[in-house]
Amino acid sequence: MKVDISALIIGSKSAIDVEYQTNYNLTDEIDVSSAKIICKGKIFSKNDAIFVDVAYTADMEALCSRCLEPITSVFENRSLDMICDKQANAQEDMQYLLEGKTFLLSEYVIQDLIINNDYQMLCSEDCLGLCSECGLNLNNEKCTCDSISVDPRLSALKDFFADKGGVENGSTKEKNVKS
């Protein structure tokens, strides 16, 4: 959504109410297949500067970062930033959002969502993910794969204590060894 802020720059208005709703694909930015974004707020002038103050909700569809099951997540945020001064000189981090006297509100909300959203969306905090050996979803079934993985650089040491009976699941264990 593009918002003409020329009335704020010349001073004929002190605020512009904004409201929009859109569906957006965020696959290229973050691992979200789609997001329905509802945004409401205002763009206003104060003390020779122009600000944006918006609250938005994003209903997102994505895959769990651990088990790859489809999930839906709701993200809500409120953001307040200075866009430019009264001469339309944009703040350094806002230059790409101003096209002359037009503010790219939808791009602003998308960037704010990307910056403030969790990069690893999970189906639950205790998600077990996938088995690294067989790919089985460990939330649904328990696999029979060997849970001990050995760093290939240290594989020569894997059986070092085996002949003495002192290794159990990768840690040394004291045992009486007869000499």
pLDDT (0 to 100) of residue 143 = 85
Flag whether 168 is in a domain. no
Flag whether 57 is in a domain. yes
Flag whether 88 is in a domain. yes
Flag whether 11 is in a domain. yes
Residues of the chain whose pLDDT is less than 70?
26-33, 86-93, 95, 119, 147-149, 161-179
Domains: count for the chain: 1
pLDDT in tens, 20-30: 998 877 665 56
pLDDT (0 to 100) of residue 179 = 47
Q: What is the DSSP letter of 61?
A: E
Flag whether 128 is in a domain. no
Flag whether 51 is in a domain. yes
Which residues contact residue 98 at a Cβ distance below 8 angstroms, ignoring those fewer than 6 apart? 83, 84, 88, 90, 104
Flag whether 165 is in a domain. no
Instruction: Give dist(CA 68, CA 25) in Å, integer.
Output: 18
Flag whether 99 is in a domain. yes
pLDDT (0 to 100) of residue 152 = 79
Residue-range definition of the domain harbouring residue 62: 2-116
pLDDT (0 to 100) of residue 62 = 84
